[in-house]
Amino acid sequence: MRDKAIVSGIDSESLLFLTDEQIRRGIETLYFAYRAFTSDPDLILAEIGYGRAHHRALHFIGRDQGLTVTALLAVLAVTKQSLNRVLRTLIQDGLVESRVGRHDRRERLLYLTRKGAELERRLSEPQRMRVRQAYRAAGPQAVAGFRQVLEAMMDPETFGRYRAMKDGE
């Protein structure tokens, strides 16, 4: 069995003293992993004339049905203009429904339609399978370490939003 203290030829003691080349390899690993992670949904999105912004919107609306437009803006950290373009398309295509808020009629609450939920599942299932497979192959300690590394890379504001979403589960 593989020694848990050694990861890709780097013992845990030397992790605090990585060379520029080791850091570069880590960056390249993130790049290639992200490319693989987005490859399956990208093919589906291209077929229907959508981009990754559409997928991200579908993901977060599906994760939190009734999400306000303001909250989605904060999560995605995009401009109002770019989010409005994406939402307009998703609403016109019958994937997202925008409802008036119950307590504040100025709020717009976002919900996936059945068609939207089906597309979100179709886009995300290959990603879930890829992540599930990688997690199983790496083991629980590696998964925990990976999550720690990703969380440590987030800027404080993003980490705060991420934590709030995580705590709301």
pLDDT in tens, 45-70: 999 999 999 999 999 999 999 999 99
Per-residue confidence (pLDDT) for residue 6, from 0 to 100: 47
Per-residue confidence (pLDDT) for residue 2, from 0 to 100: 34
CATH topology of domain 18-138: Arc Repressor Mutant, subunit A (1.10.10)
Whether residue 96 contacts residue 86, with contact meaning beta carbons closer than 8 Å, is answered with: no
Judged by average pLDDT, the poorest of 27-36, 136-145, 155-164 is 155-164
Per-residue confidence (pLDDT) for residue 169, from 0 to 100: 57
Whether residue 76 contacts residue 115, with contact meaning beta carbons closer than 8 Å, is answered with: no
Residues in the chain: 169
Integer Cα distance of 64 and 164 in angstroms:
12
Per-residue confidence (pLDDT) for residue 56, from 0 to 100: 97
Q: Where are the domains of the chain?
A: 18-138
Average pLDDT along the chain: 89
| pLDDT at residue 11 greater than cutoff 60 | no
Single pTM value for the model: 0.82
